[in-house]
């Protein structure tokens, strides 16, 4: 992916892709149950 993006665009495009990827992780993290409340 790095080679592909670097050859066609530049690292600005790579950071855009990474920013979107991190946004999906943010949403996924919010869907986690609250583990601190589940300790017995």
Partner 1 sequence: MTRDRISFLFINIGHFFDHLILLVFATVAALVLVREWGLSYSELIPYAIPGLIAFGVGALPAGWIADKWSREAMMVVFFIGLGVAAAATAFAETPLQIGVGLFLIGLFAAIYHPVGLAMVVEGRRRTSVPLAVNGVFWNMGVACAARLIDVAGWRAAFAVPGTVCITVGCAYAIFVYTGARHRLRTTVSERHDETVPDAKLTISRRSLFRVFAIVFFTTAVGGLIFQSTTFALPKVLEERLHELAGTSTEVGWYAFLVFAVAALAQLVVGYLVDRYPLRTVFACIAALQVVLFALMQQLAGAAALLVAVCFMLAVFGQIPINDVLIGRTTTSACFDSSSRSRWRQRRCQ
Residues that bind partner 1 (CB under 8 A): 1-4, 6-7, 10-12, 14-16, 18-19, 21-26, 28-40
Q: Residue 9 CB, nearest distance to partner 1 (Å)?
A: 11
Rounded CA separation 40/26 (Å)? 27
Q: Residue 27 CB, nearest distance to partner 1 (Å)?
A: 8
Q: Residue 7 CB, nearest distance to partner 1 (Å)?
A: 4
User: For the stretch 12-31, what's the b/e string if a residue is b when 16 or more beta carbons lie within 10 angstroms of its beta carbon?
Assistant: eeeeeeeeeeeeeeeeeeee
């Amino acid at each position: 992916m790095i080679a592909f993006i670097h050859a066609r665009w530049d690292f600005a495009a790579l950071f855009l892709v990474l920013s979107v990827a991190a946004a999906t992780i943010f949403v996924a993290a919010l869907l986690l149950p609250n583990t601190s409340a589940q300790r017995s």
